[in-house]
Each structure stands twice: as structure tokens, then as C-alpha cells.
Amino acid sequence: MPAKKIPSDRLIQIVSPMRVKYKDVFSIKAFYEALHEWLLEYEWKDLEEGSDKYERFYGERVRQDRSKEIWIRWRTCKKAPDADYLTYYLDFDFHSPAIVTMEVIKEGKKLKTNKGELELTIRAFIEENYKETMEGHPFLKHFKDLFSKRIYNKTIVERKKELYREVYALQTFIKQWFKLKRYQPYEDTKTLFASEAYPSHLKEK
């Protein structure tokens, strides 16, 4: 759920929880930096400061074999374009059951990286902000459903489609970074951060 508590009747869930899982060799730090850059490019912010401090929780447990189990939560938001009464939210939940530090040889150079599994769950919501204002008004509170269906419905439908497309563009970007198969009709995009995922079937011989 978003960083702040929002009544369920003001939240529209855009897609079912979207999960991307990768298990092989990759730099977890490089992936976080690339994802952070993507969010900045699309103008996502944190709720409290309106900056790029998305992280709400970080936890890790070191195992006897020196591998780490990691949990991370990012919470982001932004105003819907041309609709100040709507807010977009993207929630990210990272979980690595066991990840270790290792080295690989890439183009003749030794690189420090990681090996393990990462599962990323993404949830997307739209908040109907106007309902909060109407609920506090002795007269207008009786008409919030009417406003949703008659006044704001067309804009809400358009914004749901827009956020839906952005979420799937995000999923495509993540799969592209991890060199996973992609089926969405989006072109590959160039970013400031090159992929540092090294799937076993693509390793240099």
C-alpha cells in the first residue's frame, strides 16, 4: 500500500500485483541505480519530501554461509497530468532470499558483482483525492459517487489507461535490464545505466 493510509474506497488498483523474478548473476546495486534513474526520468517522487528518497524500509539477515536475505520497500507517487484531484502511486517490494558477493570476468576484466535471487513485486494505484474533500463537507459528501460517475469518469478512465501503460513500460524496462524474455509491444530503451545482469546462458566462453 502507499506510504500514507488511504481508505480503500479512494484507491483504484490498476493491475494485479506484478512480479519479476531473476535468479543468476547480477549486480544488485547497479539494478537499484538503474531503476532509480527510470523513476526519476518519469518524475516519480517520495510522498514526504517530494524528492527521490523512495526507500521506506531496508532489512537484511546474514546467514551462516555469509549469504544475505534482504527486504526493501520503495514507495513513490506523482500527480496525474491535468488532474490535480488524482494521484498516482507505485509500490515496490524487493526480496532476495539469499545473495552473495562474487567476481566475474567480463570482456577480460574482473568485476565485483552478486549471485542469487531477486523477486520484485510492483503495485500501482490511483487515489481519487477529491473524495477526501467531499467527505468532509456536510452537503457534498452525499454526491461523491455521482461526481465519480458523471463528472470525473472520463478523466479517470483515461488516467487508468495511462498509468497501466506506464507500469507495463516499467516491467519491460526491468526485463530488458535482466535480459529476460519480453512480450509487451514496447521498444527497447536506452538508459544511463547498462545492464549488469549475467544470465548463465549468455556468459562468455
Q: Categorize the per-residue pLDDT at 140 as very low, low, confident or very high, splitting at 50, 70 and 90.
A: low
Q: Which of 151, 90, 153 lies closest to 125 in space, CA to CA?
A: 90
pLDDT at 109: 84
pLDDT at 202: 47
pTM over 0.75: yes
pLDDT at 147: 59
- Tell me the CA end-to-end span of the chain in Å, nearest whole number: 45
The residue type found at 167 is: V
Q: How many helices (H) and strands (E) does the chain have?
A: 4, 7
Average pLDDT over residues 117-131: 92
> Over the chain, what is the mean pLDDT?
85
Q: Categorize the per-residue pLDDT at 144 as very low, low, confident or very high, splitting at 50, 70 and 90.
A: low
Q: Categorize the per-residue pLDDT at 204 as very low, low, confident or very high, splitting at 50, 70 and 90.
A: very low
Cα separation of 108 and 20, whole Å?
Answer: 30
pLDDT at 205: 33
**Alpha carbon 150 to chain centroid, angstroms:** 31
Q: Categorize the per-residue pLDDT at 152 as very low, low, confident or very high, splitting at 50, 70 and 90.
A: confident
Grid cell listed for 121? 513485486
Domains of the chain: 8-183 (3.40.198)
Q: In Å, what is the CA distance from 200 to each residue of 150, 180, 181? A: 54, 12, 14
Q: Phi and psi of 53, rounded to 5°?
A: -90, 80
Let me know how long the chain is.
205
